[in-house]
Structure 1
Amino acid sequence: MIVAGIDVGGKNIHIVIEKDGQILEKGAGPAGVKKAETLEELYMDILKKAGLARKDVERVVATGSGAKRVMFANATIPDIAADALGVMRLIPAVRTIIDVGAEEARAIKVNPEGRVLDFATNDKCAAGTGTFVEAMARALEVSFDEMGMIALQSTQNLSINAQCAVFGESEMISLIHQKTPKPDIARAVMNAIAGRIGSVVRMVGLEKEIVLVGGMAKSPGFVDSLKRNLQMDVIVPEDPDYTGAFGAAGAAIAGMTTSMDD
């Protein structure tokens, strides 16, 4: 059985094509202003790379904030359910899922069967998400990837305001003017976000195994800061930003329908 899982976020689109539970091809791209057109192009490109035609895909399930824009999807699944299913397929022992993406962060608690028991999200302020890190990286004149690497070089524990993106950026600019080394500023940013996310995680309770997914899971500096904040080990799966799409593909295999949104 060939299926597709599509995760349409506020900033990026992730697509996974599977055959009999094995990934044939996957790909990602920016959501853009015209999300419907962008994801159609991305979907067709990934099918081509997999050597497939549209008719070969038996079922398509979409998730994410833009799931309804996937007009060719057979069904949709809530993003929290997709996260839980996607991570559960990869790491069955998971009990706490932390998803930190470009525009939102959330913590999800699941039982041994993968059922969502509780979840909590951060507020709508950009602080505490990947977008905040990207803004801070631009101010430091480094890339997102570099930000995560240089943070590991710091031995200082400076603090900045992560309750508000505007205040946080203002404090960081002050540190720049004070000639504070970039690694120290980068670590301060990661520590601030980790503190904010840690508060969200504690709303649902900490229970091993803890799995971190989303784009921020690819930042070594953030992973280190989060482990320190939680004082617990955190597992980062391969391709942590694809777990939503992977969960949607799992829903397609299971034959889940739009009734999951009810």
Structure 2
Amino acid sequence: MPLHGCARRRIVRSRQREGRANSSWQFGGGDVVIITAGLDVGSTYTKAVIQAEDGEILGKAYGPTGFRLREVARSMYDEALEDAGLHEKDIDYLIATGSGRHQVDFKDLHVTDLTASARGACFLFPDTRTILDIGGQTMKASRVDKSAQVQSFRLNDKCAAGTGAFLEKTARYMGYSTQEIGALMTISKDPVPISGVCAVFAESEVINHLSIGTSPADIMQGAIESLTGRSVQLMKRVRAEPEYTLIGGILRFETMGRSVSEVLDAEVNVPDGEMVQYVSALGCAILARRRLDRLRSEGNLEAAVSA
């Protein structure tokens, strides 16, 4: 099933469109195709995905969420449309998720983060049974069944020490950018423990380690190992079972996935490259297509796409 990074099929209009009621498109072979969108307005970053009904990702975009949620949601959606070479009227259905989903005033529907991430993770890795999602401000573990339905979940949203934001803040404090975190961890030789139970205490530990000459690489790797310990404990609370799929922007750094795999003593799934941070937005686009399929089976498709 085609995903991002593959050659796009050429899309041509099947007829002149004046609104969403005329929303049929055709691939080169002439088959009518439905196009859906997913928007994940997270606490730190906002992601958008445009997907054709055969699973191909036509366009995507992401950027910092900031404080103007409506504006950034619109901006990322427009960028994804531009990346796909499409216009808003070409989209048949849009579902939003994330902490800012209620601020998206142009959505057709919204779903929870857990529902969206489960659908996206199981699309990429069909045998997924446990999902660990490490976001900028929250960390979530969930156990799903073979239909991608959430059976159990736990959240760690009381302290930033268990999230990606803590790693980014630690890097900045030591004078490194977020983009340099991955390279920094690869040169660690003797990681130091970061055992603080909250972000404030953990930051104090970082300061103490720097004051005695500990290398930034060893401090950063210690922070990763601390985050790994919290992650695995959260997974155990949902009675985690394989296959394990890890998602969230922090998984861009291979060290994080490898660390979780070592502690679990099991293989883990991690989406390739930047796709790791688009999983929930992808899940929304998939759910949008399923919603349209259901409406089509009920004879209400035209009403849905013209809404």
TM-score over 0.5 (shorter chain): yes
Aligned residue pair count: 257
Q: CA deviation at 1:42?
A: 2.2
Amino acid at match of 1:253: R
Deviations 1:200-248 (A, max 9, x none): 1110123111110001111222223222222222211121110100000
Q: Which of residues 22, 35, 43 in structure 2 aligns to 1:2?
A: 35
Q: 1:58 aligns with which of 89, 92, 98?
A: 92
Structure ID, larger Rg: 2
Q: Tell me the alpha carbon deviations over residues 65-118 of structure 1, each in whole angstroms, 9 at most, x when there is no partner.
A: 111111111111111010100001110011110000101001110112211111
Deviation, 1:160, is 1.3
288, 294, 300: which one pairs with 1:252? Answer: 288
Task: Say if 2:202 is the partner of 1:177.
Answer: no
Hey, what's the Cα distance between the residues in 2 that align with 1:54 and 1:219? 34
d(CA) in 2 for partners of 1:97, 1:107: 6
Structure-1 residue corresponding to 2:110: 76
Native 8 Å contact 1:100 1:129 kept in 2: yes
Matched residue type, 1:190: I
SS at match of 2:214: coil
Gaps of 5+ in 1: 258-262
CA contact (8 A) 2:137 2:157 kept: no
**Corresponding position: 1:151 with 2:185:** yes
CA distance in 1, matches of 2:219, 2:267: 24
The structure with higher relative contact order (CA 8 Å, sep 6+) is 1
1:161 to partner: Cα distance: 2.1
How has the CA–CA distance of structure 1 residues 15 and 146 changed in structure 2, closer, same or farther, with 3 Å as cutoff? Answer: same
Output the amino acid matched with 1:245. Answer: A
Contact 2:132 2:235 in 1 (8 A): yes
Change over 3 Å in CA distance of 1:228–1:78 after alignment to 2 = same
Match of 2:303 in 1: none
Residue identity opposite 2:39 in structure 1: I
Displacement of 1:157 in angstroms is: 4.1
Match of 1:260 in 2: none
- Extract unaligned runs of 5+ from structure 2: 1-33, 295-307
Map 1:108-123 to 2 at 5 A: 108-123=142-157
The one-letter amino acid paired with 1:19 is A
Q: Which residue does 2:270 correspond to in 1?
A: 236
What is the DSSP-based 3-state SS (H/G/I as helix, E as strand, rest coil) of the residue aligned with 2:128? coil
Percent of residue pairs bearing the same amino acid type:
36
- Normalised by the size of structure 1, how large is the TM-score? 0.93
**Could you tell me which residue of structure 1 aligns to residue 130 of structure 2?**
96
In 1, the alpha carbon distance for the partners of 2:201 and 2:277 equals 28
**1:132 alignment partner AA:** F
Within the candidate set 246, 256, 259, 1:225 is matched to: 259
SS across alignment from 1:109: strand
User: 1:165, CA displacement in angstroms?
Assistant: 0.5
C-alpha separation in 2, matches of 1:45 and 1:192: 36
1:204 to 208, 216, 238: 238
How far apart are residue 6 of structure 1 and its match? 0.5
> 1:152: Cα distance to partner?
3.0
> How far apart, in 2, do the equivalents of 1:144 and 1:42 lie?
21
Alpha-carbon distance between aligned partners in 2 of 1:107 and 1:45, rounded to the nearest angstrom? 30
Corresponding position of 1:18: 51
TM-superposed CA distance for 1:46, in Å, is 2.1
